Amino acid sequence: MGAKVMATRLDTRETANLIGSDKVDGTAVYGADREKIGSIERVMIDKISGQVAYAVLSFGGFLGMGEDYYPMPWSMLDYDTDLGGYRVNLTKNQLENAPKYSESQGWNWSRENDLRVYQYYRADPYWE
């Protein structure tokens, strides 16, 4: 009991139920085959509701050049304690066909694109 209380008190960035944004950002992401496919660039938060709308996965490139960015529903990410990162249940092929953008191209965070992403991953809309 004493040890449990202490552990809870000391880690201010993560508990059983909550995780800090600064601990999510930069965390590695692995695919269905447990190969690393990228890392979390940031999460996008709905300003009004405070709901995480997207986890943005960055992949490839060098020092931010030529990277691809994949906006994904938060529910796609499962934390894998063995891997020490998030695992998404996607094959390489599924990821290649997923909605993405490059730094130069950018992304239009419109409802049309919301639908495109959420339908691709068959996730429940964050906006309802």
**How far is residue 59's CA from residue 48's CA, in Å, rounded to a whole number?**
29
The residue ranges that bind a second copy (CB under 8 A) are 5, 8-13, 15, 17-25, 41-54, 56, 69, 74-75, 79, 101, 103, 105-110, 126
Which residue reads 């590695």 in tokens?
A: 28
Report how far Cα 84 is from the mean position of its chain's Cα atoms: 14
> Which residue type occupies 86?
Y
**Cβ at position 122, least distance to a second copy in Å:** 16
Q: Is the CB of residue 98 less than 8 Å from the CB of residue 90? A: yes
CA distances from 54 to 50, 82, 99 (A): 12, 24, 12
**Cβ at position 84, least distance to a second copy in Å:** 16
Quick one: 66 or 92, whose CB is closer to a second copy? 66
**Cβ at position 16, least distance to a second copy in Å:** 8
Quick one: 23 or 92, whose CB is closer to a second copy? 23
Quick one: 22 or 82, whose CB is closer to a second copy? 22
User: ∠ CA 124-70-64 to the nearest 5 degrees?
Assistant: 155
Quick one: 24 or 88, whose CB is closer to a second copy? 24
**Cβ at position 116, least distance to a second copy in Å:** 15
